Chains A and B, each alone.
Chain A
Amino acid sequence: MTGDINITQAFHGINKTSIVYIAIIIAAYWLLTKLIERLFFLLEGRLSGRFRLYILPSMPLFRMFFLIVAIMIIIPLVIKPTLQNLIAVLGVAGLALGFAFKDYISCIIAGITVIYERCYRPGDWVKIGDAYGEIKSLGLRTLKLVTPDDTIVTIPHTKIWNTNIYNANEGKRELLCVADFYFHPKHDAAQVRQKLYDVALASPYINLERQIMVIVAEKPWGTHYRLKAYPIESRDQFQFISDLTVRGKTALSKMDVKAITLPIAVKDNYNQ
């Protein structure tokens, strides 16, 4: 045995039949993934929040499963499936593709890491860079996120290597919401704090199984209240914050507590 491997001997002869089979398998994989996506989106709209967050994260797992099955069917059609052949072909292919598609492969590896480590999953509300929204789908290379303005943002998975990922709910229904209030410092803080607590209790969106907190901080320009509570459904977070804000303003206007406004330049300095 010379030890030389003729790489071409590792391959089956590619003929028209093989090409047709491979095309059918790729088409079937594409069709199945699209069907699964449609089915999951349909279920997501119909199911209550509790079941939705069980179903959605399994979508990328199904996609991965179909891909693995497709590859396992295609490889024996192309390569004579012996260990020697597989090592030879995959080694050469890996070297060639690695240079040409290193970013793409990095995305795919990141995608597999995301599924394994569960950094985020469909249904999670995440902030990546300056994009905040709900993850609608996880592809192999990218994720699709829908912002509160109904904009779809496509983000490559490679962001997990060097960017912080802020996950607000991590697969759960509950998500902490914060409504901010700014008042003139001359008022009874204990009364305002109690009233804001009652404002949260009165909201029809409130999840009473979780704690309500009112954080008070004195600033040079006034008093900053942060009303923190959880809605029943994470998708209602903006309506919930709006409800808290409207009820809070109504309640506190009766108590003659004055809201405060700052010139924009001063507020920007304090926000930094």
Chain B
Amino acid sequence: MTEQDPIQLWRYIRLEEFSKPKEPTKETVRKGVLGFLKKFRRTPPQTESAISHTDLHVFPPDVLDKVVSPPDWYEQFSALNVVLEDWLKLTADQEEFSAQIIVGAPYSGTSQGVTHWATTQRWRIIEPPGIEQIFEGGKDWLSQLDTGKNMPLVIPCLERFYLRHHDGLTLIRKLLGWLWNNRCRCLIGCDSWAWAYLCKAIHIDSLFPNPFILEAFDHERLQHWFQSLSLISGKECFVFRQTDNGKFVIPPKKTLETPGNNNIQTKKPLNNSGKPASVTNFLNNVASYSRGIPWVAWAIWRYSLRQTPDGDVLKTIQEDAKTDRCCMLWVIPWSQLNLPIIPYTKNQKQPFVLHTLLLHDGLPSQVLSHVLSISDVEIIQILHHLKNDGILDVEQGIWRVTPLSYPSVRQFLNSEGYLVDVI
């Protein structure tokens, strides 16, 4: 198997071309039946250990960071550079000269990528206003834009420029009007949920060309990516097998060299006994469930990994893969993976909280209370209840939906009729 050029792994496409990976039919049927039965359960089913599997342990976070290292944003930035290089070559008489939009899925690091690009290009970065400035309509804040208005500028996170509140849309309307009237060159990064809301609320899509978005990660891309994340010093040190049937989740790259057959493309991955190895469709399920969002898939992948008590993962890492030995890591089968799901509740305000947090890519609890006109006490109760269920997490005072629970939350909101993003 040849090495993939990292830029091809990460590719930006037009928003209208985006399509999420398809779900395996068997999983669709299983989910449909379980979903229907869930309607009649008052309490969530008792969670079993995914492994009767008492022999398997969860990885400590520091070891997990070495087995499945945090993503390197550099590759994504490279792909962004490719698509923006073509845009930079446009001349002032061409339609898309003025503005370009990059829409990013939740957890995608779009604002970091756009900021990094702006830094390399030495374009002016427009930082988001404060919450109070948004509520006041941004009169004073907007006046700063007039300074150096002919310079190209970058708005890394448009989702921070509005609030879903009757006083929260004035500033962003004025900002867009200013951009349109001044015809200055600008690159705008925006979260996909905020983009969906702004399209409906202020018809932002009629002002700008069709945005770019990262192409969905199907199971093949995920396989390559997870494999690359687990390499140590460029060597394959881990073998991933499913706990129920022993099949490979990621086929190992090692192949059997047969005499006279040096054609790499015809060699198939082999198991320990030298026979062709079979591969599970675990990554197909991950790709479909995560909707092709790599960072959601990454979180699920980390969540599904287990080791045996005598697993020598640390030893493997410490020896820096000097030997050819591979360490066996186990993967919980998809049907036994207990990912966080929305608990049944009659509290109508819970979906409001979830939806609002997604529309704004996270909010502090005080702002959430003000936006929803719900008391602080009630908001805190809902937030902590959802945190205990693994649906939300809080970091530096900002409440967000966790990557593991994101697919479940999105599906719930979609089925209840709430506005959702296109991803």
Contacts and interface: CB of A to CB of B under 8 A. Distances in A.
Contact of B417 (A49, A195, A239): A49
A209 B420 CA distance: 11
A195 to B, nearest CB: 6
A48 B415 contact: yes
Contact of A208 (B168, B200, B372): B200
Interface of A: 42-43, 46-50, 173, 195, 198-199, 201-202, 204, 207-209, 232-233, 236, 239, 243, 246-247, 250-251, 254
Given A49-B417, A208-B201, A232-B418, 20 more contacts: A46-B40, A47-B39, A48-B417, A49-B416, A173-B417, A198-B167, A201-B164, A202-B164, A202-B166, A202-B168, A202-B371, A204-B352, A204-B372, A232-B416, A233-B416, A246-B373, A250-B166, A251-B166, A251-B167, A254-B167
B355 interface: yes
A42 B41 CA distance: 12
A201 B359 CA distance: 13
A201 B170 CA distance: 12
B192 to A, nearest CB: 15
Of listed B169, B352, B417, residue having the most chain A CB within 10 A: B417
B314 interface: no
Nearest to A199: B166
Contacts of A202: 164-166, 168-169, 371
Q: How large is the interface on B (under 10, 10 to 19, 20 to 34, 35 or more residues)?
A: 20 to 34
B419 interface: yes
B123 interface: no
Contacts of A47: 39
Q: Sort A-B residue pairs by CB-CB distance and give the 4 closest, nearest first.
A: A46-B39, A204-B352, A208-B200, A232-B417
B164 to A, nearest CB: 6
A239 B372 CA distance: 13
Contact of B356 (A49, A204, A233): A204
Given A204-B352, A232-B418, A198 B197 contact: no
Given A208-B197, A208-B200, A208-B201, A50 B164 contact: no
B417 A233 contact: yes
Contacts of A43: 39
Contacts of A50: 415, 417
A195 B166 contact: yes
18 contacts: A48-B416, A173-B417, A198-B169, A198-B170, A201-B164, A201-B201, A202-B164, A202-B165, A202-B169, A204-B355, A207-B417, A208-B200, A208-B201, A209-B200, A233-B416, A236-B348, A239-B348, A250-B166
A49 B415 CA distance: 9
B416 A198 contact: no
Nearest to B415: A48
